[in-house]
Homo-oligomer: A and B are copies of this chain.
Amino acid sequence: MDDFDLFFLALDYVGVAVFAVSGGLVAARKRMDLVGFAVLGCAAGIGGGTLRDLVLGVRPVFWVFEPAYILICVAASCATFFWASHIASRMKALLWADAIGLGVFTVIGCEKAMALGAPPVIAVVTGIMTASFGGLIRDIMAREVPLIFRREIYATAALSGALVYVLLHEYHLPKPSIVGSAFLTTFLVRALAITRGLALPVFKPHNQPKAEDTPPQP
Contacts and interface: CB of A to CB of B under 8 A. Distances in A.
A33 B202 contact: yes
A148 B42 CA distance: 14
Q: How large is the interface on A (under 10, 10 to 19, 20 to 34, 35 or more residues)?
A: 35 or more
A187 interface: no
Given A36-B149, A39-B148, A116-B60, A31 B203 contact: yes
Contact of A205 (B50, B85, B118, B203): B85
B205 A151 contact: no
A39 B56 CA distance: 18
A59 B58 CA distance: 8
User: What is the oligomeric copy number?
Assistant: 3
A45 to B, nearest CB: 12
| Residue among A155, A159, A200, A202 facing the most chain B CB atoms (10 A cut-off) | A202
Contacts of A28: 203, 205
Given A33-B201, A64-B122, A85-B208, 13 more contacts: A31-B202, A33-B200, A35-B156, A36-B149, A39-B149, A54-B61, A56-B60, A57-B60, A64-B113, A84-B205, A85-B205, A140-B140, A141-B149
Interface of A: 27-37, 39, 42, 50, 54-57, 59-61, 63-65, 67, 70-71, 81, 84-85, 88-89, 113, 116, 118-119, 121-122, 125, 136, 140-143, 145-146, 148-149, 151, 155-156, 159, 199-208, 210, 212
